[in-house]
Every structure is written in structure tokens, then in C-alpha cells.
Structure 1
């Protein structure tokens, strides 16, 4: 084992004595992407690389007609997601032109595969320092001044080859688990879609819904737009800087996307706080049990329409980038949680959202969404049926996600030890 020394960086730990520590600004530079003047759906060789496309979350491909002043990148170039909920994450490029929400990182005298692995450690620190008014973005100065462990080139190559082999096996395991996860999620979605449009009675008489994409629904159900069922409001116009250590809980778009989709129960879930002065200043943004809160922006099309439903009577506020829906008539809120999560409501929203950097939802879009409404008692029966069925599927999903999380933690630990020279590669 090599003799080690303190790197001087708390999150890095010890490194071999003969290694150097160098700030990123001395060994790399970055260029941010730009928005194209014009793009289209007509295929050509100039692909517009968005975060959604690279992370395989956006199947629609955009092509650029005028590439002047744009940043061209090649396959396996290292990209940094600069803006959005995942700001600070590194991904590998494909051939194309870079969106303004990303930057390409070019290293000098560094083995690219070694740099790619070391950036896994950088990413953890970088994401802690993202900032911005609502939409997070990378702090460029902080990134440039982060330290990079700099071994001799031969050792960089050895470490990269070792990690490529190990990480490939780990990734194969993760992909199998993610495929199973995807199948379970599809099973759950199919169950919701079928039950929420046809009900529980297989012998019920059907009628034409009057909606081309929906087809038939039970004869005694109604079709109504959301504006007939709900009143609409906005969350607080605040930023992360307005959060305090105690006060009134506040749900913003980030928690809706990543932590508490579909349901929020403050007896179980934890949120940041805002000042109690908002009780007097912005009472219209205070939420009640049964209210719905939609995120009004999303970094990918799949997240358009993400929402949560308030399950407890504890006072809380809707925060930034949110739209509030308050029932104007008696409904069974759990039924509407499943309805809003169905593909039929989601697709109506996705057809109307707009934005290049982010996908934005407006109250006008939500007001025109059409819903199918069973009688109140039937809403309750459908919701309780789906709740029991989905609970079993969710239990399996949670178990698989935990397995994926544990293997990813092992991968991060392995990379950490290897890129810091604390593994004897001759013994594997």
C-alpha cells in the first residue's frame, strides 16, 4: 500500500504522498451551451442536446437549422448540468449542440475516463452549493475552485480501467433492477388508468364520453372541466432564502417533484418553514386538508402535472412555483389524487405545457383539463380499491429502490477509494 498524506480537503481524505492537489480552474475550462435561433422536428445531423434528451427522459428530438454561435460537443464529452433541479450533475454527451442549461468541461493533461470518475466526488460537493431564485444553478466560481486529485498519468489510466470494469458490473445490476422497477410502475399505472376510467362494475352500461382520446365511460358519470370543480390560487412568491428554522411548514415545487408526490401528510412528512407573518400577509396561500398543489414548472415532460394532495389539518403554505386547487364542491380527494395521476389527465397537461429550459404549467392550462366524475360514494369505493392494490405494488417498488440505493452507495464508496489512491489495484 502506498504511503498516504492528508489531502487538506475534508471530503476527500487521504491521498498517496506523490500525488498533487490542483484546483479545477488550472486543469480544465468550461463552455456553456446556448439557445438556438431556430430548431425544428425535421431530422438533420444537428441534434439539440437537452438535459431531458441526454437523461433519456424526453423522447422528442429537436434539430437545429442554424448552428452559428452554438457549442458543438462529441460523444462522451463530459457535460455539467448547469440549471434545474439536477444542477451540479455530470453526464456524458452525444454528438450534437449543447443547450444553454449545460456546460461542456474540457480537461488538460488528464485522462478523460479518470476525470469522469473523480467528478462523481466533485458532484456531491457541487450540488450542495447550487443557488438561484427558484430554479437552482451551478455556482461557477465554486466549481472552478474545487480541488482535483492529480496522480501521474499512468496511475490515472490504471484507476480508470479498474473502475470501468467494476462500474460496468454494478451498472448491469442496476439496469436489471430498474427494468423490474419500470415494469412494476407500468403495472401500477395501467391499473390506475383502467379503474379510473371504467370503475369497478364490469357490467355497467357505458356511454360515449364525448372526448375522442378517452372513449367510453360509465353511463352515470359526468365529464367536467377542472374550473367547474376547483378554485385556483398561487403559492408564496419566495425563494430558498426565505426559509427559516421554525415557523409554518411550506411545500414548494421541489418537494412535490422529488419527495412527496400525490400525497402530503405533515404528521409524517417534513418540510422547511417560513415566517408566521405570512399568516397575515398571504392568507390566500395557506392550505387546508383536501387541497391540491401542482408544481408549475418541470425540467422534463414527464414531470409536467406533478402534484400533491394535503392529507392533514396542520397549517402549511404553498411555496414558490406552485398552483393551488381548492375544491368548490364536495369531492373525495383520494379519488382525484388517482385521477390526476392517470395518463388521461397527464396527457392533457403535457400537450399544452411550454418552455425550452423548463416545462411550464399555467392556471389556464389546468382550468381546461377535463375530468370524469362518478357519484361521491363511487369515488370513495374506487379510491379505496386502488389504494389497497397500489400499496402492495408500492411496497415492492420501495424494496427495489432500496436495493438500487445501496448498490449506488457502494459504487460511490468504491470510486472514492479508487480515485484517491486508497485501493491496491494489483489485488483488485
Structure 2
């Protein structure tokens, strides 16, 4: 909470001192701070709906007139360890246009391929093929660090090298803003669900172009202000990570040690478990639940209907709760046929693939629903469903279902693995006490997490609005001085 408040205060403090007031973003996001700046003295219509009016002395033009080189990439052949070349891929680009080069590919390229695709400082690389509109057109700028790698780029990327009419640093902001990304999404042609760009399409993107001296002012302004916002976003992301870590620690402590730290303990010699209260039992899941099974997995689409009985899938399962996002439905007659996978209140469902072992309790909203490819743990009088769900989402259970005998991570959580999970089981009354404690404590942590996520969302909106306002000339940033420099 303190970090959230500090972030809000910091954003509010980091403003530029304007001659006249113009705030490009208002509403709730404005409460997190805004850069006030004057408008230009005169505007003209750009003739492009998504750009609107631009300063009267700016140009609006297709990108192709600003490009010196517009080239596809190469992949080459398998490396042989002799003069191999680093080839960057679109997976090394983040969705917001940053580099994340951790384990780059090394390939064997011919001399001609290297000459054609060698990257130099100032080049811009665009992802030109993706199944997601979030990734199509994402653009990274080759800086000095990347250029020093003497690297090339893959055939799923397009390199543009600008002429002297547009600064690469400003183009990077433009191409990663909605101004360009919406055009990329619209212009990309789709084949089998995969959106594709090419050099011609990229050249058709229309952008506003200020005079060169203003370009430098805008790029410097955005670099300075976006850096401040990025720092605040990083603080909030660290807070989210700390809250997640705290939540997991609280759960693991409660479901293996209990709430009374004065009771005698016993060490069962299991490294990942440690000591548990002496009056608890360590028992396999199959010995105290009402049964384990798996939801329908064979051609479930033949049972689908536009409406009917909800059929839960892994994407509907979160830790401790179920969501109705992208629900599918079974025909009532199909549901009657598939009673083995029908759900009742206080049953548990666990994910098999994706985030294996993630477990939720079936509540009233999904009583009588069906499910697809989920492990179903039937309720019994021996346990509190919410206590068991907390235990199954704890680190002690994750160690068991994620790691095999040789330490390889399992991508599937199956009934056999679930049946043999070792659970530290307290008496039923104590299970209820622990559940009440975890519901309250985790609820408080979840509320703080939601606050931090809202702050991140507002900061990102603020950043996007600031970039859009600056690159389309809605604010005049020439000569603006940050408060800390003007003071």
C-alpha cells in the first residue's frame, strides 16, 4: 500500500512546467499525474481520421517516403561453431518494443546474407508475422549495445532503415503507439489466423512528421517522461511480485505448520515438507477424498451448444476460484450422458495442462456444471474443501506434481499423480480455523495486489496517452523544462 501511495505521489510530482495548460489525459488516470503542456498556435486537418488535426507546419505522409532500406530477414543453416552469427528473433522483442536478449540463436549465414541483414545502430526491426494483434508490428530500435553484437535478424522480422527525414528514436515511439499499431493490425493480411506484414504494407503506414529540430525535442521529452513512468510501473510490478510471494508463504506456512506455533512438532524426514504438528496426519489424497476422476476429454466439441450446461475448462480455473470467462456449453442431453464429470458444490477441480495443479472449489454458481479435461476431486466429510484447495495450491504440493523422479518438470497433472499427493491433514475443526485465517489474510493481500495492478494499468494508459499526444502534435513540448531542472 505504501508503495502504491508513493507511486501516485511521484507521478504527480514529475511534471513539466507549461506556459499554458493542456492535459492530454484526464479522468482517473489523471489522478496518477499528468504532463501539462501548451498546444501549438495553429493546426490543420491531417485528412486521416485516426490522426486528426496536426500542427500547421507538420507533414503527414506514408512511411515509405521516409525509408532508405526495407528488408526481410534470414535464418540460414545450422551452426558449425566456425564464424557463426547471432540471428535475432521476434521472441527477443517485448510487446512494448523493448529488447529481451537472453539466449539468442546462433546460425550459419553466407557472406551475402550477412552483408544484406547486418544490423547497425538506428535500424528498426518489426515483427511481421504473429497470431496476436499485440505482437504484430512490435518494433525495436537497434541501439549501440545491440549493434555491438554484430548480429542479423530472422525472416519473421522486417528491418527498416530511415533516411534523414525522420529520427529513429522518434520513429520507435510512433511505431509502438496506437497510431501505427492499429494500422498494422488493420493492414495485415490473415492466413490461417496468422497476421502478416511485409515491406509494402509497412510502407503504407501513415505518420505525422515534424521538422527535424522538433523531432529531437519530442524524442528527448518522451525519453525523459516515459522513463519516469516506466520506473513507477517497475515499482508496482515489484510490489505485485512481493505480494504474490507473501501470499504463497502465508498459505504454505498455514497448511503445513498450522496457526498455533506452540504445539509439538514432528519431522517426517521429507525435505520439501519439514516438520508438521505432531497431531496432524500425513496421508495420500486418495485415502480421504470422495473420489478422483477426470472430465470428458474425447472429442468434447460434439457435445457443444450455444447455450445449455456450462462446461469448465482450464482457462476457467484460477487459484481458489472459478471464472466464467469464455465459457462453453454442453447440450442438456450430452450433460446427462456425461454425469461422471458433472460437478457439485464443494467438489474441487484441478488443471491438468498449462498451469498444472492449479485448484479451485466449485461454488453455487457452477453447481451442476460439467467440465473438460480437469481433474475432479469429490468432496467428503473428512476435509474442508477450501482447506484442501489451499493445500493443493501451496508450494509443498507443487513440488510433488511438478517434479518427476528425475527432476523433469511435468506439463500434465494426471489422476495418478493427484491420488498420491501427500497432504498434511489436521483435524476438521482446525482445517476450518486455518481456512478462515487464509480467507481473510489472502483477501487482504489480493486487495493490495488489485490496487497495484490498477496503478500499473493507469500508468500504462498515461504513458500511451502522453506518447500519442506528443507524436501527433496535440502538445507542444519544445523548450519544456522538467520541474526538477527548473527549480
Same-fold call, TM > 0.5? yes
Residue in 2 aligned with 1:290? 346
Alignment: residue pair count = 394
Deviation readout 1:264-299 (Å, 9 max, x if unpaired)? 26xxx555343525425655444332333344444x
Deviation readout 1:132-191 (Å, 9 max, x if unpaired)? 99xxx7522699858633344836655433322221111111222222333333222221
- Inter-partner Cα distance in structure 1 for 2:261 and 2:255: 13
- Inter-partner Cα distance in structure 2 for 1:304 and 1:99: 35
2:265/2:275 contact within 8 Å kept: yes
5+ residue gaps in structure 1? Answer: 39-44
The alignment partner of 2:231 has SS state of helix
Match of 1:3 among 41, 44, 48: 44
Match of 2:320 among 258, 262, 265: 262
Match status 1:374 vs 2:429: no
- Inter-partner Cα distance in structure 2 for 1:201 and 1:181: 29
- Inter-partner Cα distance in structure 1 for 2:120 and 2:247: 38
Residue in 2 aligned with 1:148? 205
TM-superposed deviation, 1:89: 8.9
Residue in 1 aligned with 2:244? 185
2:86/2:152 contact within 8 Å kept: no
Moved more, 415-424 or 213-222: 415-424
User: Which is greater in Rg?
Assistant: 2
The alignment partner of 1:384 has SS state of helix
The alignment partner of 2:478 has SS state of helix
Residue in 2 aligned with 1:41? none
Q: Please, what TM-score do these two structures have when normalized by structure 2?
A: 0.63
- Inter-partner Cα distance in structure 1 for 2:299 and 2:198: 24
Match of 1:14 among 46, 49, 52: 52
Pairing of 1:42-121 with structure 2 (within 5 A): 67-68=107-108, 78=125, 80=127, 82=130, 90=138, 103-109=156-162, 111-117=167-173, 118-121=175-178
- Inter-partner Cα distance in structure 1 for 2:390 and 2:462: 36
Deviation readout 1:245-279 (Å, 9 max, x if unpaired)? 644434433444xxx442126xxx55534352542
Match status 1:335 vs 2:379: no
2:229/2:463 contact within 8 Å kept: yes
Deviation readout 1:190-225 (Å, 9 max, x if unpaired)? 211211110122222222234222111122323334
- Inter-partner Cα distance in structure 2 for 1:370 and 1:98: 51
Change (3 A) 1:34 1:316: farther
Change (3 A) 1:219 1:407: same
Moved more, 154-163 or 414-423: 154-163
Match status 1:224 vs 2:283: yes
Moved more, 45-54 or 378-387: 45-54
Residue in 2 aligned with 1:42? none
Residue in 2 aligned with 1:361? 412
- Inter-partner Cα distance in structure 1 for 2:364 and 2:75: 44
1:292/1:310 contact within 8 Å kept: yes
The alignment partner of 2:256 has SS state of helix
Match of 1:252 among 313, 316, 322: 313
Alpha-carbon RMSD across the aligned residues, in angstroms, is 5.1
Match of 1:398 among 450, 455, 479: 450
The alignment partner of 2:245 has SS state of helix
Match status 1:279 vs 2:335: yes
TM-superposed deviation, 1:406: 1.4
Change (3 A) 1:33 1:160: farther
- Inter-partner Cα distance in structure 2 for 1:226 and 1:168: 50
TM-superposed deviation, 1:335: 0.9
- Inter-partner Cα distance in structure 2 for 1:34 and 1:281: 54
- Inter-partner Cα distance in structure 1 for 2:308 and 2:74: 39
1:126/1:138 contact within 8 Å kept: no
Q: Please, what TM-score do these two structures have when normalized by structure 1?
A: 0.70
